[in-house]
Amino acid sequence: MNLRDLTYLVSLAEHRHFGRAAEASFVSQPTLSTQIKKLEDELGVALVERTPRKVLLTETGREIAGRARAVLAEVDEIRAIAQRTRDPEAGKLRLGVFPTLGPYLLPHLVPLVRQRFPRLELLLIEEKTEQVIRMLREGSLDTGLLALPLHEESLHAEFLFEEPFVLAVPDDHPLARRKARLKLADLEDESLLLLEDGHCLRDQALELCQLAGAGEKVGFRATSLETLRQMVAANVGITLLPTLAIKPPVARTGNVQLLEFAGNAPSRRIALVWRKSSSLGPFLKRFADVVRSLPAGLLKPELCEPAGAARRKRA
């Protein structure tokens, strides 16, 4: 038994297909199949059920694959310890980020990271929150950018910033004519367009709806913020957008007014998260400081004047 064979088994468990597992492992399919069979012979148990269309792991195979994944994560930690000892700011960093944050934060963050850590290879993985947490637990990610709160005892969360929400409405919506900033009570009896299940922004928006006495627009759930934005532009309804999603380089959208909330605006709290057992903890605290060095104006919605604001001022 060797680490290479355990890697093949874990890949097969993830892909459930010899060809795709071999491709992900950068070997030929016969090579991977042969090594899996040798591993079965060495252990004296069947790990895989081979069917014409797909591959299923036996119950024993699933348990061993889970333990192999943990072993490989520990090996990665050993390598990381050695790498960080040689050069704390070089090597690879696998960063997970959820879809309603990544496309809007990373254009601002990546240049800062490259400037502060020029020898760091930053590998970016965009997945929904539950998947990022799973990958952190399993060791296939080093750290993640996630929204608080988290309920994972094995993970450390380093608070970074609070990002306010704005309300996006069509130009002819009654709320678009307001001159004062919004209050939560203004959303009473409104129906908001929301994301599909699995997005943490959906849960945050539902919580806000409950506080404001608003509801969800029935019959539609978006897969992305950009879909929500275009549905507002098409006069289908109104929605919440995080501040970073309305800042350049995001292009303005016609027939969309962006309205700020007064006082303590609804917001989400973003943190850098990593395993408490990770050897990268000290370095990740420095990485968190880089995220905190983002220009403060990025998180102030009033610095991004909504489309139509100039017309209201002239009026």
Tens digits of pLDDT across the chain (315 residues): 899 999 999 999 999 889 999 999 999 999 999 999 999 999 999 999 987 777 889 999 999 999 999 999 889 888 877 876 677 688 889 999 999 999 999 999 999 999 999 999 999 999 999 999 999 998 889 999 999 999 899 999 999 999 999 999 999 999 988 878 888 888 888 888 888 776 778 878 888 787 778 878 777 778 788 999 999 999 998 899 999 999 988 888 899 999 999 888 889 999 999 999 888 899 999 999 999 999 988 998 864 444 444 434 433
**CA–CA separation, 39 and 44 (whole Å):** 8
Q: Are 199 and 245 in contact (CB under 8 A)?
A: no
9: CB partners within 8 A, 6+ apart: 36, 39, 47, 61, 64, 65, 68
Query: What pLDDT was estimated at residue 97?
Result: 97
87: CB partners within 8 A, 6+ apart: 119
Nearest to 309 by CA among 167, 163, 178: 178
Residue 20's alpha-carbon distances to 24, 33, 78, in angstroms, are 6, 12, 28
Q: Are 39 and 67 in contact (CB under 8 A)?
A: no
Encoded tokens for 81? 């310890």
Query: What pLDDT was estimated at residue 302?
Result: 66
Predicted model pTM: 0.72
Q: Are 169 and 298 in contact (CB under 8 A)?
A: no
**CA–CA separation, 90 and 121 (whole Å):** 7
Query: What pLDDT was estimated at residue 85?
Result: 67
